[in-house]
Amino acid sequence: MSGPIGKPTPYIDGVEKVRGQAMYTDDYKLPNMLYLTFLRSTESHAKIKSLDISSAKSYPGVVAVATGKDIPVSFGILPISPDETAMAVEKVRYNGEIVAAVAGKTVEAAQEAVKNIKVEYESITAFTDPHDSLEKCNLEEQIHPHTKDGKNIHKTAELRFNEPEKELETAKYKQTGFFKFAGVTHAFTEPHSTLAIWNGDKTLTVISATQVPHYLHKNLSKVLGLPLHKIQVQKPALGGGFGGKSDPFPHEMITAYMAMKTKQPVKCTFSREEVFITHHGRHPTEMSMSVSCDNSGKITALDTDIIIDGGAYGSFGVVTSYYNGVLLQGPYKIDKFGFRTRRAYTNKHQCGAMRGHGAVNPRYAVEVILDMLAQDLNMDPCDLRNKNFLPENSFTVGEFRITSNGVRDCLDTVRKKSDWDKRYGKLPYGRGLGIACGFFISGSALPIIWNRYPQTVVHAKLDFDGRIVMFSGASEIGQGSDTMLVQIAAEELGIALDYVQVEVADTKTTPVDLGSYSSRVTFMVGNAAKTASSNIRKEMAKAIGKEKNVSPDKLIFANSRIQTQDKSIDLSWEDGVEIAMAGRGAFVESGHYISPKLGGKYKGAGAGLSPSYSFGAFISEVTVNSDTGEVNVEKIWAAHDCGKALNPLAVEGQIEGSIHMGIGQALTEEMRYKNGQQMNPNFFDYRIPSSVDTPDMDISIIESNDPEGPYGAKEAGEGPIHPVLPSIGNAVYDAVGIRMMELPMTPDKVLSKLKEMS
Amino acid sequence: MKSKITKLSINGFEHIVLVNPDETLVFTLRERLNFTGTKKCCDEGTCGSCTILVDGIPVLGCLTPTVRCVGKTIITIEGISSKEDLHPVQKYLVKNGGLQCGFCTPGVVMTAIPFLDEHPNANREKIKEGLSGNLCRCTGYKKIIDAVENAGKELKV
Ligand code: FES
Ligand code: FES
């Protein structure tokens, strides 16, 4: 590749970000703009007996007040569980749920007015422990009316293949573990923010910090009863998502409703506490898992039973329930395989999708158990893993199609770089090494809402100025998707990067893209962008060929020139553009991506299907202080197979960011609750790693060249988090001989395990 | 509380603003004067994204009452960025990939510049300490540290 693909490319929006010029949602201000604040529930589960907004309405500076009854239409990211309303209607289901909203001319006026709203609650038994939600309860105690058998179970996802339980009964080598994972949250730095404008032509513009403009668009239409063609959603610069901005949210519905109602622009920006309350993070999880192998170390069966604590609403929960199981089908070949996940509704903040969606916790369990089995067999844990990898071009037991697969390379690379063979098991007490692998989807093959359209469309426009503009609905959330669009167009057209600009994430002007979730953007949008820009090249070559009397395929586009091999034709880019536009003017070419037909026929076969999968292997080196119980990650060797790194700088950044987030969940992060109320909704008490906690990172990018990815690329944004946590867990075992079955492994847990041992 | 007419020197210009005695510098800058380059991530002193220089010293804008800045020199990210060339810290943050979503970035810049002034010979460990008040959720800090290290080297020559 002669262009920018594969070369470290600084982000195209980097300069404006580093100058403080990039505009995030809260940076926008409009004339007559109103500020929105909320009254939030102080109860976890209660009927709203009365709600009196009259004195808030008449408070000076207040323009409008709304309650649940004003917009009672339910919505949700998944069409199978639209169980949430913009504000509580009749009852509240968690502490912090929005009950009423005030739009005021100033923030202060709105905040003061909220204090004047009178609400009376009648408490209902609150379910804060997911185990209680699995039991029968009285009808009036049920969190949602639609759950079955008088229980508060949102979803039971279960699949089994080839009777794993039978194998596990008789297996000679078998390990069972009981694991417990605290809930963790995305903790992106930019608080949620939304600005809604009711335009003169009776259309609605919503500017929002969202990873999913398209799904927000659809849900706004449903809730507000406004036709789709009257809504525009724009995503400006966005300060981090990690899945935490991938649902349509109540505050987005309310802000839009208030703009329609007042005919004035309305803005809502959350406090940090509200960000924590809104949550949608990783589910608190309990899991029992058994894995067996034969005496050569070949895995024979896996079975697991999982309870995830979903909180008050559905969000992505049905998908999370499946992902907890189905994404264990790789990177190891396991033919006898089963899982059951039950997602409980509880009266707490709702959980949803977070980086590595659904698979991070069970991945920890599998990798720790494999370590235990290696121990039983007296086998090196790397060797055991090596024996079990799925081959390239194969199928998993649930019929996932595996194409490119660089997991062996990943393992060999980190094994060598860390000097594993010389050091594992031989470091002094208190220092240890641990290995773990990973596996993740490279984009969900199925859209969230079934339709007959492609998953993404990209338009490339050429105009008189010689500039290529890439129109894409893809949402840049810091992962570098805007830069990728530019790189691809520059590569295909042989022009310098600065000829290419983007128009993105605006549902009025850019073709539909489903959003930045499930690690789908590079694979899907990348392919569409490649087609769109190569179609521009073809059109140009056709026109130039005709004018210059040469076959179009003899024309080479490179170095911002268009030439034949012998340079008998040698045009500047601008001259080429002029010829291509003669008699027709500016033109647009389109590219799209549709994933191939994949998967089995059984119920649940669609969960986890992807056109490709990423793989990885990480080794962590830790020190454990046996006096204080502190675990320190000293170094991580990370090898991730992303197919082909279109932008190695961005890929490394994703791996390093995943390491950061993985260390946080492994060591310190935890959503702590008491009676349904969060005890730590701030960065003092919810500790994410800081710069001093950053270990040495040795990043290796493994390129397996996927046959269907653009230039061979697949995902890198989520897969790299999976191996981080278990590699730390296994390293702690190597260091001091304790198996950490509960995360985060805070000093108290480490100390009590050490005590148990002695 | 009674609002007060307040004179502030920001990025070399005088601004006359009506402020509440209890309002913070980040509020005044963002909400009253439209200096939106300074970011507000937590508003409670935990993240460093609101870092501003007051008389050359980095302070957290969300914990600093505006009225206490009267008669002092306030520099925001806009003040650092008014020149055509990027400051080496900015340049290397872009070049080395020390930013992703960019929301923590203005705060990182406003912390790293005075840090390097004070510690021109800082090694990686020292740089980590210097940045420990700036939370970043995207990068894992490695490339931020790289950028500050490279900027430090360039500033020395
Ligand atoms: S906004 Fe000031 S420290 Fe976070
Ligand atoms: S770049 Fe996103 S928080 Fe630092």
Distance A688 CA to ligand 2 centre (A): 13
Q: Where are the beta strands (DSSP E) in A137-257?
A: 153-161, 173-181, 193-198, 204-208, 231-234
Low-confidence ranges of chain B (pLDDT < 50): none
Considering only CB atoms, B102 lies closest to which of A186, A242, A478, namely A478
Q: Do A14 and B43 touch (CB under 8 A)?
A: no
Answer yes or no: is the C-beta of B48 below 6 A from any ligand 1 atom. Answer: yes
Answer yes or no: is the C-beta of B140 below 6 A from any ligand 1 atom. Answer: no
In this prediction, residue A477 has a pLDDT band, given cuts at 50, 70 and 90, of very high
* Architecture of the domain whose range is B4-79: Roll (3.10)
The domains of chain A, with CATH numbers, are 25-124+189-240+245-278 (3.90.1170.50), 357-442+610-757 (3.30.365.10), 450-593 (3.30.365.10)
Distance from CA of B103 to the nearest CA of A (A): 5
Q: ipTM for the complex?
A: 0.98
Q: In this predicted model, what pLDDT tens digit does every residue of A441-470 receive, in sequence order?
A: 999 999 998 899 999 999 999 999 999 999
Inter-chain contacts counted by CB atoms under 8 A, chains A and B = 176
B99 touches A: beta carbon within 8 Å: yes
Q: What integer pLDDT is reported at residue A268 of this predicted model? A: 98
Residue of B nearest to A186 (CA): B137
Distance A188 CA to ligand 1 centre (A): 13
Residue B3 has φ and ψ, to the nearest 5°, of -70, 160
Report CA A164 to chain centroid distance, whole Å.
31
Answer yes or no: is the C-beta of B127 below 6 A from any ligand 1 atom. Answer: no
Q: Hey, whose CA ends up nearest to atom 4 of ligand 2?
A: B136
Q: Could you tell me if B32 and B19 are in contact, meaning their C-beta atoms sit under 8 angstroms apart?
A: yes
At residue A1, does pLDDT exceed 90? Answer: no
B101 touches A: beta carbon within 8 Å: yes
Query: Which atom of ligand 2 is least distant from the CA of A189?
Result: 3
At residue A40, does pLDDT exceed 80? Answer: yes
| Of B50, B64, B135, B136, best ligand 1 pocket probe by most atoms within 8 Å of the beta carbon | B50
Return mean pLDDT, chain A. Answer: 97
Q: What integer pLDDT is reported at residue A158 of this predicted model? A: 98
Q: What integer pLDDT is reported at residue A286 of this predicted model? A: 98
Distance A235 CA to ligand 2 centre (A): 17
Q: Could you tell me if A24 and A190 are in contact, meaning their C-beta atoms sit under 8 angstroms apart?
A: yes
Q: What is the mean pLDDT of residues A159-172?
A: 97
β-pairing, A677-678 with A673-674? Answer: antiparallel
Q: Do B140 and A656 touch (CB under 8 A)?
A: yes
Q: What integer pLDDT is reported at residue A478 of this predicted model? A: 97
Q: What is the mean pLDDT of residues A62-79?
A: 97
Q: Could you tell me if A28 and B31 are in contact, meaning their C-beta atoms sit under 8 angstroms apart?
A: no
At residue A399, does pLDDT exceed 90? Answer: yes
Q: Where in chain B is the domain with CATH 3.10.20.30?
A: 4-79
Residue of B nearest to A271 (CA): B42
Q: In this predicted model, what pLDDT tens digit does every residue of A710-757 receive, in sequence order?
A: 999 999 999 999 999 999 999 999 999 999 999 999 999 999 999 999
Q: Do B142 and A694 touch (CB under 8 A)?
A: yes
In this prediction, residue A54 has a pLDDT band, given cuts at 50, 70 and 90, of very high
Answer yes or no: is the C-beta of B60 below 6 A from any ligand 1 atom. Answer: yes
Q: What integer pLDDT is reported at residue A251 of this predicted model? A: 98
Q: What integer pLDDT is reported at residue B84 of this predicted model? A: 81
B111 touches A: beta carbon within 8 Å: no
Answer yes or no: is the C-beta of B138 below 6 A from any ligand 2 atom. Answer: yes
β-pairing, A401-402 with A468-472? Answer: unpaired
Considering only CB atoms, A657 lies closest to which of B43, B77, B139, namely B139
| Of B46, B59, B136, best ligand 1 pocket probe by most atoms within 8 Å of the beta carbon | B46
Q: Do A190 and B103 touch (CB under 8 A)?
A: yes
β-pairing, A561-563 with A570-572? Answer: antiparallel
Q: Where in chain B is the domain with CATH 1.10.150.120?
A: 88-156
Answer yes or no: is the C-beta of B49 below 6 A from any ligand 1 atom. Answer: yes
Q: Which of 1.10.1040.50, 1.10.10.10, 1.10.150.120, 3.40.1190.20 would CATH assign to domain B88-156?
A: 1.10.150.120
Q: What integer pLDDT is reported at residue A423 of this predicted model? A: 98
In this prediction, residue A220 has a pLDDT band, given cuts at 50, 70 and 90, of very high
Query: Which residues are CB-neighbours of A220 under 8 A, at least 6 positions away?
Result: A204, A206, A226, A231, A233, A248, A252, A253, A256
Query: Which residues are CB-neighbours of A685 under 8 A, at least 6 positions away?
Result: A672, A679
Query: Which atom of ligand 2 is least distant from the CA of A239?
Result: 2
| Of B28, B59, B60, B131, best ligand 1 pocket probe by most atoms within 8 Å of the beta carbon | B60
Taking only Cα atoms into account, the Rg of chain A, rounded to an integer number of angstroms, comes to: 27
In this prediction, residue A164 has a pLDDT band, given cuts at 50, 70 and 90, of very high
Answer yes or no: is the C-beta of A657 below 6 A from any ligand 2 atom. Answer: no
Answer yes or no: is the C-beta of B7 below 6 A from any ligand 2 atom. Answer: no
Residue of A nearest to B82 (CA): A19
Answer yes or no: is the C-beta of B100 below 6 A from any ligand 2 atom. Answer: yes
Burial of A582 (0-12, 13-18, 19+ CB in 10 A): exposed
Considering only CB atoms, B129 lies closest to which of A107, A186, A692, namely A692
Token pair listed for A226: 């406004």
Q: What integer pLDDT is reported at residue A758 of this predicted model? A: 86
Query: Which residues are CB-neighbours of A281 under 8 A, at least 6 positions away?
Result: A183, A184, A185, A186, A243, A244, A351, A352, A354, A671
Q: What is the mean pLDDT of residues A42-65?
A: 98
Determine the Cα angle at A734 with ends A642 and A438, to 5°. 20
Token pair listed for B94: 């872009």
